[in-house]
Structure 1
Amino acid sequence: MEYHQDRFDDYSLMIYSDEKLVALLPGNRDGKMIYSHQGLSYGGLLINDKLRFESYIEVFKALLIYLQAESIEVLHLKKLPFIYHKTLSDEISYVLSALDANQTGFDSYFVLEDVSSYQPNRNRKRAIKISEKEGVVIANDEIAFFWKHVLEQNLAAKFDVKPVHTIEEIKYLMTKFPEHIKFYSAKSGNEVLAGAVLFVTDNVVHFQYSSGTEKRTENGSLDALFHFIIQKYHHKKYISFGSSSTDKSLKIDKGLAYWKESFGARVMPQESYSIQTKNHFKLDTIFK
């Protein structure tokens, strides 16, 4: 996370049992509040997969007591979407309920499961055939051109925003994590028609950034690009198509939702909560 350390007051924590590291909290501080890091797409408390539930409760209580002693009143926690879990693990839902946590955010992601049996719908198949007739090919170059002339322009025109990362930052991260951050482009000759930046983890291939030119409907370039990527990563458990919310709330872009569903994706939430650190005592009542 050091590439954007100037934007955040880092407050990441490591939690030990005796001398053994058992949990991590990537975080940043803002006055009397700490966030499970605002510079990360997802986060929350990361735990050792051998930790028993009783120990998990003890860890979370110790965390809240520590934060309260440090004059931090509120912990803002982004819940880790279950698709990223390496093992069955949802202790945090129980803890959030016990602590009377307040939900502060609700983002919607469309996710394709069982990628090995993927079948796009009739409209997507038609677009893919058009891309073949138009001579669209998939490559993994021209990220700088895609960033400046496709992605940035589309985000500015539609949402009046910029990408969270700069092109320099994303290229730096790609050099640090070459197996986990990938870029693919759809081209006709030397012309870049569409592109996608992927974050690749053990279970998930996530479309972090994807966009196409105004001609993408006519030439099926973005459809062809997604089709290629889904087939390439057929061995993964999930393909995440990214957020479909218009403002990190229950509002969803209807057209975007349909487009993702036409590849077979289904909706799943990403929730955010606020926890009063003083409520740590409420965890004492879980076990009798």
Structure 2
Amino acid sequence: MYTVKTYTTSNQLAWDYFIRKAKNSTFLFERGFMDYHKHRFQDNSLMIFKNTQVVAVLPANKLDNTIFSHQGLTYGGLVYSEKLKMEQVLDLYKSILKYLSEKGIDKVVIKELPYIYQKFPNDDFKYIAFILKAKLLKRDALSVIDYSSTFKIASNRKEGLKKAEENQLVLKEENDFQGFWNLILEPNLLKKYKTAPVHSLEEIQHLKHKFPKNIRQFNVYKHDEIVAGTTIFETEHVAHCQYISANTEKNKLGSLDFLHYKLITDVFKHKAYYDFGISNENSGRQLNKGLLFWKEGFGARTVTQDVYEIETSQVNLIDEVLI
């Protein structure tokens, strides 16, 4: 019923066209985003056709005999049309797993797309993972504000807001990431974790050029000095904090409290969700208590994101589902 093919650059237009109308996709799955780090990963994305029509795609990379969806993205998984029902989705997974097995792939690791990013109810994968006896590798805890529910901003976060007002802090949206990257983000990550941002300055500027409406930078200034900032990846329903950082005076100035209060209550109040991201460490098995406390002070609560490992040899279990 379905034909599975490995993605090639000749399919870029068809891929992007499909991503923009699929029911469970974001701009991160467009090739303009995925390909910025193609030198770091061996792309092994898949396109699934019914006759000549694309009905699903799988953003993916290959490492040894395992397919990952996707090691370079915040989330992954099979992307498909809202027209497809459960029986068809089962057939899609069957076709994909058979194709990969024939290619010598033993395992597929999928970092699921959290439900807050999806346009329609879509827990198909959770059920299929259960049927295929998938192994749960990781479960992260996202701190998310749901605008459809009543949430309360804690008094200690409002105290930070008062400090910001006393220090005459100013919030600005900017197209240039240089000040935040060079003066705040990179020095903080190097000092605290001895690491660098996932995106270099050149990469984030490139992505901003590609997706000007989706990637936004908000900085906080005291007079003319940058003291804090956050990089937002904006999708249809969600404002996601990709990076959050401030200088050493953040508690004295209330800079981060001011920054996110303004974004939550004003800039992104029309969204369905405000996603602070994870507070996990050690592959999801521990939580940064202080970071979690700070996020929950804005009214955020936990949404989980799972990573599953599926053995392609289990594909025949799909034949036993429908009775």
RMSD of Structure 2 on Structure 1 (CA): 1.2
1:104 and 2:118 aligned: no
Aligned to 1:134: 167
Aligned to 1:215: 249
Q: Distance in 2 between matches of 1:118 and 1:198?
A: 21
Aligned to 2:193: 159
Name which of 250, 275, 292 aligns with 1:240. 275
Superimposed CA distance per residue, residues 152-194 of structure 1 (whole angstroms, 9 cap, x where no aligned partner): 1111222222111101000100010000000000001110010
Superimposed CA distance per residue, residues 45-88 of structure 1 (whole angstroms, 9 cap, x where no aligned partner): 11111101000000000000000011111001111101011001
TM-score of the two chains, using structure 2 as the length reference: 0.87
Could you list the runs of 5+ residues in structure 1 that have no partner in the other structure?
none
Name which of 149, 155, 159 aligns with 1:122. 155
Q: Distance in 2 between matches of 1:101 and 1:127?
A: 45
Q: Distance in 1 between matches of 2:282 and 2:53?
A: 40
1:26 and 2:59 aligned: yes
Amino acid at match of 2:226: V
Q: How does 1:35-46 map to 2 (within 5 A)?
A: 35-46=68-79
1:189 and 2:223 aligned: yes
Q: Distance in 1 between matches of 2:222 and 2:49?
A: 54
Q: How does 1:76-95 map to 2 (within 5 A)?
A: 76-95=109-128
The CA deviation at 1:246 is 1.4
Amino acid at match of 1:226: H
Aligned to 2:21: none
Amino acid at match of 1:176: K
Superimposed CA distance per residue, residues 18-61 of structure 1 (whole angstroms, 9 cap, x where no aligned partner): 22211110000112111002111111111111101000000000
Superimposed CA distance per residue, residues 75-117 of structure 1 (whole angstroms, 9 cap, x where no aligned partner): 0111110101100110001100000000111221100001685
The CA deviation at 1:140 is 2.0
Runs of 4+ in 1 over 4 A off after TM superposition: 115-118
Q: Distance in 2 between matches of 1:144 and 1:280?
A: 48
Amino acid at match of 1:33: T
The CA deviation at 1:143 is 2.2
Aligned to 2:319: 284
Q: How does 1:261-280 map to 2 (within 5 A)?
A: 261-280=296-315
Tell me if structure 2 keeps the 8 A contact 1:199–1:207: yes
Q: How does 1:246-265 map to 2 (within 5 A)?
A: 246-265=281-300
Q: Distance in 2 between matches of 1:285 and 1:105?
A: 27
Q: How does 1:41-80 map to 2 (within 5 A)?
A: 41-80=74-113
Name which of 1, 5, 9 aligns with 2:42. 9
Q: Distance in 1 between matches of 2:167 and 2:148?
A: 27
Q: Distance in 2 between matches of 1:121 and 1:281?
A: 51
Tell me if structure 2 keeps the 8 A contact 1:121–1:263: yes
Q: Distance in 2 between matches of 1:107 and 1:248?
A: 8
Q: Distance in 1 between matches of 2:189 and 2:302?
A: 22
The count of corresponding residues between Structure 1 and Structure 2 is: 288
Q: Distance in 2 between matches of 1:124 and 1:205?
A: 20
Q: How does 1:193-204 map to 2 (within 5 A)?
A: 193-204=227-238
Aligned to 1:168: 202
Q: Distance in 1 between matches of 2:104 and 2:190?
A: 40
Report 1 or 2 for greater relative contact order, CA contacts < 8 Å, sequence distance ≥ 6: 1
Superimposed CA distance per residue, residues 117-145 of structure 1 (whole angstroms, 9 cap, x where no aligned partner): 55411001111011011000001235212
Amino acid at match of 2:38: Q
Could you list the runs of 5+ residues in structure 2 that have no partner in the other structure?
1-33
